[in-house]
Structure 1
């Protein structure tokens, strides 16, 4: 049985198994050997066949103690996503085994997913953490479920689209997820070259910064080159702030030309990259922290949910209708009262 004493307030455990020799570092002036531009202006493609990506997905789900096809179907039915450390061996083909599986669901989908984990996957609930008991951002509660040595964190979020949560993570290296249709990567130019930057706009307490530093140390030990700011990565030393798609100050959309989607061939068909849910709102975001420009303004991490019909449009800042401060941690959340 899983030792409950191993459970901590961090959903990303630090005792994941990792084999650093399989994480070779790229040089600063590398032109992304793992990535190629297609003739389509809206997509990246890895040199790995989508069938290989699907094989990695199913391997990681099996290692996590869940049946792959059944789990992918339940993700589709509940519009849930899997994120966290599980996505690293899927995108980078590293050989470490994450010690848990992080599933993100909205409130309605979360009820169905919890029942699925109990009835179909035979996990048992051992603890539930409410957001008021921990410094989580954009999270309502976390259900800890165990089966033998496997741990699943079912994370319930207040947003209709659970993908909103990933843009409030501590750094870009974990801004990836698995939908029921395929894989999403928000910052492929960084992630696929094993590079990462901090999302400092979500740090509002000393405790949140301490926890983030612990995570940075862990990913650095896995061969990820992490920096506090994009300009500290050589290739981006003189990038244009607010324009470069890897810049945290740039307004991004999950359907813009930089976002990487890889569809699972057995689900969406061969050659199809789009793997987003069509029945949830799209997400537009910018990350927080100090701008790279001489004015050096400090921004909060911002997310915007927009109707599906407008998901290809990235708004200018002046198009935002309203700004709310969510909770005591003063997270800046932007909402819209009309279509763009």
Structure 2
């Protein structure tokens, strides 16, 4: 069952809710175990230091079966970064990969771009497993997730639960680039090709037929299905979430920051006017992504 289906089914009765939570927890446990990480210890450290998981590992848990992630990406705010990295080194054999070539300045995830402060590329010497620890400029790492190059990557695993920003597309294995011009970027092209090899489709416009079909009829500017207008993390236009353990519903809501973002303007979905946001750091950290206390 897809992530969206699990969330819907969990609302039918108490037993279904417990079963769906167990299903999601098992998926998260499998991803962590694949990288030599124990579930309870990792979740405790993530809570203590304010870390989340995103990237291919977070995408993987949204599906019952599929690709195997090549690495695991932790995102942690500047205040918790040192403590979380110290925990990683004390609990595992992951160490900084000195053979990793430096990130080129114009790479999407290079330091100083899109709210990223520093990136540590780690490797487990015996197994060769890879881990990336990304320190964000802001104390809240979720704001960086909403600045990724495609909606397909706007997913998280937190210590409280799993969240997906665009479930109507993501669970159908479809993503939209945050800026049409990114389709010409060589590095993004390679990422699109890699996604295609894993069975995902990334398109450059919200008017693509695959996107229109996936979104289907919906009320414009309402809920997570509509791509138009501003969205806020603490509303029903935030992340679609599934908590992992009993009693964490309230905790999942508390850990969500008051972050607002916008993929498209406020015109009705049927309008011909296309106002996909421009992919620049100035726009991302100004008009389109805002963080409130």
TM-score (norm 2): 0.78
The runs of 5 or more residues in structure 1 that have no matched partner are 1-23, 27-31, 302-324
Aligned residues: 274
Q: Check the 8 A contact 2:229/2:264 in 1, yes or no.
A: no
- Seen in structure 2, the aligned counterparts of structure 1 residues 338 and 73 have a Cα distance that, compared at 3 Å, is closer
Shift of 1:117: 1.2
Q: Deviations over 1:48-103 (max 9, x none)?
A: 71101101101100101222211111000011100000022211122422111100
Q: Check the 8 A contact 1:36/1:47 in 2, yes or no.
A: no
Q: Check the 8 A contact 2:49/2:84 in 1, yes or no.
A: yes
Q: Check the 8 A contact 2:10/2:20 in 1, yes or no.
A: no
TM-score (norm 1): 0.68
The runs of 5 or more residues in structure 2 that have no matched partner are none
- Seen in structure 2, the aligned counterparts of structure 1 residues 95 and 237 have a Cα distance that, compared at 3 Å, is closer
> For residues 266 and 230 of structure 2, what CA distance do their matches in structure 1 show?
14
> For residues 163 and 281 of structure 1, what CA distance do their matches in structure 2 show?
8
Output aligned runs, 1:1-340, within 5 Å: 36=8, 49-127=20-98, 134-136=107-109, 137-147=114-124, 148=126, 149-200=128-179, 203=182, 209-232=185-208, 233=211, 234-236=213-215, 242-243=221-222, 245-258=224-237, 259-265=239-245, 269=246, 272-274=248-250, 276=252, 278=254, 281-287=257-263, 293-300=271-278, 331-334=284-287
SS in 2 for 1:36: helix
Q: Deviations over 1:240-287 (max 9, x none)?
A: 76556334432112232243111111xxx26x5455373673211112
Shift of 1:112: 0.6
SS in 2 for 1:257: coil
SS in 1 for 2:79: helix
> For residues 264 and 92 of structure 1, what CA distance do their matches in structure 2 show?
15
Q: CA RMSD in A?
A: 3.6
> For residues 277 and 77 of structure 1, what CA distance do their matches in structure 2 show?
17
- Seen in structure 2, the aligned counterparts of structure 1 residues 170 and 288 have a Cα distance that, compared at 3 Å, is farther
The farther-off stretch of 254-263 and 182-191 is 254-263
